[in-house]
Amino acid sequence: MADKKMVEQITSMEEDFAQWYTDVVLKADLIGYTSVKGCMAIKPAGYAIWELIQKQLDERFKATGVQNVYMPVFIPESLLEKEKDHVEGFAPEVAWVTHGGLQPLQERLCVRPTSETLFCDFYKNDIQSYRDLPKVYNQWCNVVRWEKETRPFLRSREFLWQEGHTAHATAEEAEERTIQMLNVYADFAEQVLAIPVIKGRKTDKEKFAGAEATYTIEALMHDGKALQSGTSHNFGDGFAKAFGIQFTDRDNKLKYVHQTSWGVTTRLIGAIIMVHGDNSGLVMPPMVAPTQVVVIPIQQRKEGVLEKAYELKDRLSNFRVKVDDTDKSPGWKFAEAEMRGIPVRVEIGPKDLEAGKCVLARRDTGEKLECMLDELEEKVAELLETIQKDMLEKARRHRDAHTYVAKNMEELGNILNTTPGFVKAMWCGCQECEDRIKEQFAATSRCMPFEQEEISDVCVCCGQPAKKMVYWGKAY
């Protein structure tokens, strides 16, 4: 019975999803609280997920020609103020450095909430001719936004992310790069994180401060709330004009560059938890699981059991594999491996040894399979692939089952208040209607999806002719 203690301390997700989330984040040892309000410590089990995300995303970036750089963590106040919409969007939520050493600074510096202004200031000097274009730079770094309410991974005063910043000779090329990176994010979410996403464009109300267009990938969490999981912005030449980033083109004319930026954050770890997790804890997609396979010896004091467990571990060294040889009971070890979301558990005991077999248990379905020991490597490889695929399908089925259609405000309200999920509804395009929906139902427009449908001719709110189908939802 004591074996279950670890699990019993988790609130069930049906009872209180928010508390379940916090319990998982802490019990799976992903983060620790710190004395710095609103900032978390990312522990080894959490940071290892981020490293796997970084590595695989960075490879995808580089395959499209992205180069990594590093810009300062500080932005002088005068630089932040150069683009009007941008400063209005960010100034209320930045941290200000006013003293360096024992001296007050002549000009305040903010800790970067995002680095458009620094990249613009840099590009202004670095770009002279069409030969210097395109610039396709990215940085992996920390950023700070002075949020009032914080939650681990989802919203914190400091978080880790990557921010890509590009400069192009033409508007077409900038738009192409914006969409290209959105597609990189969408593929990564689906293929690596096993999270299906809706690709679309943000309304003007929801777009990034200073952007001409913001594109987004939106995912649906297990509780029916949406999570904006990555964004890609086309700035046109707005920042270029504010910062004076010009180049001499082939035709010898001086022109402004066109810019983009795009980013994903440690928030993706929150998405993994809330899309795949269950009442036993985390469920990690194999491709980002810090441990993919755990070998658990049963009756490990019996002759040959521990040795066999180590042997199996060695044979599985192509995977991220561990043996749990601690002196805890098997039941405790099972519960712990489940809490951490390890995709495959290999059980090996004295009887298995005799029979030349072992048991493989899937974390995602709980299913147990017998496996002949001489087929182990092959079966584990197959199983990890199957789990990765099945997790995406399961998440897709959940998302689709929680995607609704509303034709009028009554339907929209009913759905949003009783069966949370995505709601597809038509929109006339005016911000008044968008504001009204937000006000009445505490829901926001998630995006105007690339895949448009004609649900009806008229706006769900005002009944005027509809221009776009929009995904609405309550969001993190």
Residues that bind a second copy (CB under 8 A): 32-36, 39-44, 47-48, 50-51, 67-76, 79, 92-102, 109, 111, 118, 121-122, 125-126, 137, 141-142, 144, 146, 157-158, 160
Closest contact distance (angstroms) between CB of 74 and a second copy is 5
Residue closer to a second copy (CB basis): 20 or 119: 119
**In the complex, least distance from residue 316 CB atom to a second copy, rounded to whole angstroms:** 18
- Token pair belonging to 414: 């009913």
CB nearer to a second copy: pick between 96 and 450: 96
257 close to 263: Cβ distance less than 8 angstroms: no
CA distances from 386 to 224, 273, 281, 361 (A): 25, 19, 20, 13
Burial of 9 per CB tally in 10 Å (0-12, 13-18, 19+): exposed
Tell me the C-alpha distance between 352 and 371, whole Å. 10
Comparing CB distances to a second copy, the nearer of 90 and 404 is 90
CB of 357 to a second copy, least distance (A): 33
Closest distance between a second copy and the C-beta of residue 267, in Å?
14
| Contact by Cβ (8 Å): 257, 127 | yes
* Residue found under tokens 């790069």: 177
Return d(Cα 40, Cα 31) in angstroms, integer: 6
- To a second copy, the closest distance from the beta carbon of 466 in angstroms equals 38
Q: Which is nearer to a second copy, 322 or 436 (CB)?
A: 322
Distance separating alpha carbons of residues 111 and 90, to the nearest angstrom: 11
For residue 52, the minimal CB distance to a second copy (Å) is 11
CB closer to a second copy, 99 vs 301: 99
| CB 191, min distance to a second copy, A | 23
> CA torsion 384→386→389→391, rounded to 10°?
-80
Residues whose CB is less than 8 angstroms from the CB of residue 98 and which lie 6 or more positions away in sequence, other chains included: 104, 105, 108
Q: Which is nearer to a second copy, 129 or 142 (CB)?
A: 142
Of the two residues 75 and 409, which places its CB atom closer to a second copy in the complex? 75
Radius of gyration of the chain, Cα coordinates, nearest whole angstrom: 25
Could you tell me the smallest distance in angstroms from the CB atom of residue 429 to a second copy? Answer: 33
What's the CA gap between 10 and 280, in Å, rounded? 8
CB atoms within 10 A of CB 475: 17
Task: Give the list of residues 6+ apart from residue 253 with CB closer than 8 angstroms, or none.
Answer: none
Nearest by Cα to 57 from 184, 232, 190:
184
Closer to a second copy at the Cβ: 40 or 283?
A: 40
